[in-house]
Chain A
């Protein structure tokens, strides 16, 4: 569905995105584009959505270059960052225009309008002028325009900014539902918890470079040189004695009723630890990975680039 082959983007002398390569497969699913502000997320989304052509390399969406390409754009929906909408217009009229510009007309257009407004919960408020809409309502209208033509690839740039908690959850539910219906959703955020709640598949960007791609665990496994912390609850001295004999141990810290092990290659050491516990050689009550979460992955990956 989406292939970037050493695609890069320059803004004059500034490199917005270093040569980047990755693929997204056909079919539904959510991919999170994660990175701090200025990481290159919007640059990447602009390439994928056909707003900008790459300065180098190639971008292929549905088998074609997306820049000013109607056959590709007909299958893409974009929700840009922010809540900007044209001044002086009402929601329903503007949405109708966007539908017509997407190739819809007549009864299919009316049906698409009703469906999109219903999906975002704006069916009864779409006639309001944009100036009288709240930030959340404007965000919903922007989402509605992206859903009108039932795109196969939905791109959202920081869609949770400015939304209240209820609206966030609602949007997350909607994105999950769309993904389940076969829509490929590419969503960017600089908030790790948002992406972690939404998807396990992430693209991690930092300073214009794609640092990692895959699930949180897959990425974590790439980081053998970065130790993983495991809290092992049980008999601390016995666990410590066992741990110091393991080659993967990087450090340990004794706590009152547990030991925090800092280990490399957790995939190798964990089975041995579990086996020792199962055989009664190691008095272990519980095992708790402390940093196998997105936050830790992000910090590890970006630490070397700061």
Chain B
């Protein structure tokens, strides 16, 4: 039999389709719950309020979006989903079965990540739509959806890369999301651009009108045009997927899942 190596596109499609069922299992539903829980809770409270004759409050949707989804749930989604990507095969020692195929190895991280990206993005879109019910500004809906999906793309890619670079990738990812992003406010203002939060806010609309006294930045706010933020998030994600692929392509990984000195 004459075999020709599959193209990168075919390899991507094969891996994404092959591993797609994983998102419909426990970890996939956990990812879904991270969006569904805060939005669903808000919807429930809103429904109770309506029963008592209360109106929707636009600030509630903003609060759930920025404090719930963006700051808390989105990073946790990436921390939960990324280890089920190519890192999972490394830890289960099933990666050699993929590495001995004549397919482009650099396509594997993205191929395994794509089902998770699509699954998470679908739930984030549903979440953004759900927030409209409790008083989200319709003018900001597209921006919110773009911000959530683009940030999810970037954060999942970053965590996939970190998972290939470090054994304790989840720990480093958690430190980045929950230490660096909040702490950046005490550093020079331009460093805001090195956070997901800044670009999400650029796309989804600033929450400056809603911040409390304890949230006031120690630095001047910097501004990035929304389209540039979108481009940066998408490019950053693509860069991380590419670097993850490059790392896998270059790193000798043996049967034990360890690197050897090649």
Contacts and interface: CB of A to CB of B under 8 A. Distances in A.
Interface of A: 9-12, 16, 42, 45-46, 49-55, 67-68, 70-71, 73-78, 80-82, 84-90, 93-94, 96-98, 100-105, 108, 112, 142, 145, 149-150, 157
Contact of B100 (A51, A81, A86, A105): A51
Contacts of B101: 73, 98, 101-102
Given A50-B100, A55-B262, A75-B3, A101 B11 contact: yes
Given A80-B93, A96-B18, 13 more contacts: A9-B260, A11-B261, A46-B255, A46-B260, A52-B260, A70-B103, A73-B102, A81-B255, A88-B21, A97-B17, A101-B103, A102-B101, A102-B102
A75 B96 CA distance: 16
Contacts of B252: 51-53, 67
A88 B22 contact: yes
Interface in B100-151: 100-105
B102 A74 contact: yes
Contacts of B255: 42, 45-46, 51, 80-81, 157
Contacts of A149: 1, 3
Contacts of A157: 255
A46 B18 contact: no
A162 B230 CA distance: 53
A70 B6 CA distance: 9
A104 B3 contact: yes
Contact of B253 (A51, A75, A77, A90): A51
B102 A70 contact: yes
Contacts of B102: 70-71, 73-74, 101-103
A157 B97 CA distance: 13
What size tier do the contact residues of chain B reach? 35 or more
Q: Among the interface residues B3, B13, B253, which one has the most CB atoms of the partner chain A within 10 A?
A: B3
Contacts of A88: 21-22, 25
A89 B100 contact: no
A150 B11 contact: no
| Most interface-central of A11, A88, A96, A98 (chain B CB within 10 A) | A88
Interface in B244-262: 249, 252-256, 258, 260-262
A53 B258 CA distance: 13
B21 A103 contact: no
A68 B105 contact: yes
Contacts of B96: 51, 78, 80
A142 B98 CA distance: 12
Contact of B5 (A53, A103, A105): A103
